[in-house]
Structure formats: C-alpha cells, structure tokens
Chains A and B, each alone.
Chain A
Amino acid sequence: MKRLECLQAIYPDIQDCAVVTIMGATSAELHSLGHRANFFYLTHAMGLASSIGLGLALCRPERQVVVLDGDGSVLMNLGGLSTMARYGPRNLLQIIFDNESLLSVGGFPTATATGTDLAACARGAGIHKAITVTTVDDFASAVREALSGGELACVVAKVEAVGPAGYIVDTHLLEDRFMFARAMREPAPRESPAEGGKMP
C-alpha cells in the first residue's frame, strides 16, 4: 500500500485533531490532501515529532493528538517510545509509516529493511496497543479504533517507498508554525470553548 492512500483513508478522522507530521514526503502528501491550521509540519529536527506530540498531549489532555512518524525518524528517537509509554497520554496516537527507507534523502534502507520491528519496539517500550498493518482497510480500522480507544496507541503501516515529486509546500515553515500555535489556543471544533488554551 501507499502512504498517500493511507492518508486519504483517514483524513476525515484526523482533520480536527492536532496533527504533528515529520518532514519530507509525509508532510507534502498530507499538505496535498488539504492544509489545516491544526496541522504542524516538522520539516527538520528529525525524531522529535513524537516528542512534540507528547508535550502537546500532556498539556492538552482534552485534545486528540496524532503524530505522523516514519521509520527513519522513530529509529532516531527510540528512547522517545519509552518516554511516551511512561506517561501514556490517552489522547496520543502515533502513526508510523514504515517504508524501510530514508526516502527523502535518496532511498537508503533503514534497519526495518533488515528485521527491526517497530511495533515490537513500541510494545517492548511499554506501549501496549501497538500493531502493524499492511492493507489500507486494516490501517483505517486500526486508526479509528485507536482514536476511539482512549489509550496511547501506535499503528505501524508498512508502505511502499514512494512519494511525491517534490517536498516543497506553499506555506513557509514559520507561517505554519504561527498558524498552528494559534489553532492550538483555540478550542477544537468538537471541544467546548471553556476548555480552550490560553496564551502563556
């Protein structure tokens, strides 16, 4: 399956969530499906998307947070799995698109190409709800179940190592960062206004 097909399948489910995505193909594909102020594209700081998601989820427990991660990024911050598991926010879902490749920098194989199992890493770290899926239907079901499950979850989607022709999106990273900060301080569409964040 392709990552873009997966993103298309769950877009309606995550469109109102606080979404933090890694750089490169994942960012560009999510952006191509429709940019929203509640989507944050971490175009650098590889590995830290899950840490940003954790900080956000711990500070805004009423807000569903979705991290779109990749095998290369997770391998750079494996310790972060243990930190997520340790605090286990119920409102955090980590989706890992595992294409066994550092696609954005030329397609070099990562360790998941030679046997590293990221769902097993997540379970070993203490994230009990961590599964691997290989079809779009299974992926969409797993994401929906995780979003309604009220428990920290990790869904590893095995996807093909293909992506868009380019990774440049038409919002500048700082423009996106300020829009996201503003969006996070407003109540989510399905949240009560009383729960909205305040400016620090």
Chain B
Amino acid sequence: MPVSEANSRVVYEALKASGVRLVSALPETWLVHLIRLAEEDPEMILVRLAKEEEGVGISMGAYFAGVRSALLMQNHGFLQAINGIVSGAMLYRMPLLMLISDRGHLGEKDPWQTEGGRYTRRVLDALNIVHDELSRPEDVGIKVNRALALSQASLAPVALLMTRSLLWEEPAP
C-alpha cells in the first residue's frame, strides 16, 4: 500500500510538536500510518470513532478539559460531520482542528472516492471555515502549528486538507 509512511510521520510529529494530546479518527486508507502512530504513542489519547460527527463532540470535551486535540478523517467523513461542526463547534465557538484526507482529485482511481472531492472546498467555503492544503512535507510543521493557533484564537474550526501529493507514493509507471 503506497501510503507515505514518512510523510504520515511528518504530520504526526507536527501534531505532537503543536501540543496535540488527543486524536480522534475514523480510519481510511490514507490515514492508516497516522492512526497507528497515535496508537503506539503512550502520550497520545487515540479515540477510534464509529462516525466522524462524534469526533466533534470529543474535541469539544477535550477543549473543556484544556487538552489540544485534532480530528482525522476523510473528506466524506467531513461531509458526514457537518451538523456537529455547525451546531456544536461553530454555535459554541469551539476551536477545532480538522485534518482531512482529500480524496477524489487528480489521480484518484477508486470510483467511489470521486464524488466528495468535488465538494469539499466549496462546503468549507460555504461554512466560512478557513482551510489550507498540506501537500509538501516541508510545509507541514508550520501549517499545522499555524492552523492550531488560528483555531484557538478565532474559536472556530480550521481545516487542513492532506493531498495525494503528501500522502500517496505513486509506484513507478
């Protein structure tokens, strides 16, 4: 499976360096290494979800407890979680860092992943959620740190879209 282990580690280290101590996640192919790193780390609380919307509530609870958290999910998971984001995180002015694997763009070979990618950015824009891309490993540390800072200062969700360029290592043609 050509999911980039090295770049997954870069993302994980960026979360750790930014003080994230709880990660909630619903697995998908691109996230396997990230979730495993969280699971193997005794300093990290990993919450495996049944449905992404739960993660919004868990991050709200973590925030109340004074713990920095992040929600890992696929873009279809983001679409699933929208009511929790709007009527939980946004209504209550909660910081929420979302790391979203951005399926359904150039190079996508799974037909079932092609629909969500078309709408993810437009839905984020419609919700007025600040978002940025994580495509180059050298930018990951600073962007994760800045996204968390903005989320906490604005008391609002911020999304980082993890692209194919970052997380997928294409086999040589």
Chain B binds chain A = yes
Q: Which A positions have Cβ atoms within 8 angstroms of B?
A: 18, 20, 40, 42-60, 63, 77, 79-80, 82-83, 86-87, 173-174, 177, 180-181, 184-185, 197-200
> In the bound complex, do residue A56 and residue B54 qualify as a contact, i.e. CB atoms below 8 Å apart?
no
Which residues from chain B contact A59 at a C-beta distance below 8 Å?
A: 21-22, 45, 61-62, 65-67
Which residues from chain A contact B166 at a C-beta distance below 8 Å?
A: none
Among A58, A77, A181, A184, the residue within 8 A (CB) of B47 is: A58
Which residues from chain B contact A47 at a C-beta distance below 8 Å?
A: 53
Which residues from chain B contact A184 at a C-beta distance below 8 Å?
A: 64-66
Looking at the assembled complex, report how far the CB atom of A193 sits from the nearest CB atom of chain B, in whole angstroms: 15
> In the bound complex, do residue B88 and residue A45 qualify as a contact, i.e. CB atoms below 8 Å apart?
yes
At the interface, yes or no: B142 with Cβ under 8 Å from chain A? no
> In the bound complex, do residue A54 and residue B47 qualify as a contact, i.e. CB atoms below 8 Å apart?
yes
Q: Which B positions have Cβ atoms within 8 angstroms of A?
A: 19, 21-22, 24, 45, 47-51, 53-69, 83-84, 87-88, 91-94, 152
> In the bound complex, do residue A180 and residue B64 qualify as a contact, i.e. CB atoms below 8 Å apart?
yes
Among A20, A55, A197, the residue within 8 A (CB) of B59 is: A55
> In the bound complex, do residue B91 and residue A51 qualify as a contact, i.e. CB atoms below 8 Å apart?
no
Q: A166–B87 Cα gap in the complex (Å)? A: 21
- A–B Cβ pairs within 8 angstroms, 24 of them: A20-B61, A45-B91, A48-B53, A48-B54, A51-B56, A52-B57, A52-B58, A53-B61, A55-B24, A55-B61, A56-B62, A57-B61, A58-B45, A59-B22, A77-B51, A79-B50, A79-B51, A80-B54, A83-B50, A173-B91, A177-B94, A184-B64, A198-B66, A200-B66
> In the bound complex, do residue B87 and residue A44 qualify as a contact, i.e. CB atoms below 8 Å apart?
yes
B69 (CB) vs chain A CBs: closest residue: A55
Looking at the assembled complex, report how far the CB atom of A33 sits from the nearest CB atom of chain B, in whole angstroms: 22
Which among B51, B60, B66 has the greatest number of chain A C-beta atoms within 10 A? B60
> In the bound complex, do residue A48 and residue B48 qualify as a contact, i.e. CB atoms below 8 Å apart?
no
Which residues from chain B contact A42 at a C-beta distance below 8 Å?
A: 88
Q: A180–B94 Cα gap in the complex (Å)? A: 12
> In the bound complex, do residue A55 and residue B58 qualify as a contact, i.e. CB atoms below 8 Å apart?
yes
Interface of A is mostly: helix
Looking at the assembled complex, report how far the CB atom of A191 sits from the nearest CB atom of chain B, in whole angstroms: 13
> In the bound complex, do residue B22 and residue A49 qualify as a contact, i.e. CB atoms below 8 Å apart?
no
Which residues from chain A contact B53 at a C-beta distance below 8 Å?
A: 47-48, 51, 77
Which residues from chain A contact B21 at a C-beta distance below 8 Å?
A: 59
B89 (CB) vs chain A CBs: closest residue: A45
Q: A53–B47 Cα gap in the complex (Å)? A: 13
Looking at the assembled complex, report how far the CB atom of A138 sits from the nearest CB atom of chain B, in whole angstroms: 29
Looking at the assembled complex, report how far the CB atom of B98 sits from the nearest CB atom of chain A, in whole angstroms: 15
> In the bound complex, do residue B51 and residue A173 qualify as a contact, i.e. CB atoms below 8 Å apart?
no
Which residues from chain B contact A56 at a C-beta distance below 8 Å?
A: 61-62, 64-65
Q: A46–B50 Cα gap in the complex (Å)? A: 16
Which among B45, B57, B66, B84 has the greatest number of chain A C-beta atoms within 10 A? B57
> In the bound complex, do residue A174 and residue B57 qualify as a contact, i.e. CB atoms below 8 Å apart?
no
Q: A198–B19 Cα gap in the complex (Å)? A: 13
Q: Known contacts being A55-B22, A184-B66, is A45 close to B56, with CB within 8 Å?
A: yes
Which among A40, A53, A55, A184 has the greatest number of chain B C-beta atoms within 10 A? A55
> In the bound complex, do residue A181 and residue B64 qualify as a contact, i.e. CB atoms below 8 Å apart?
yes
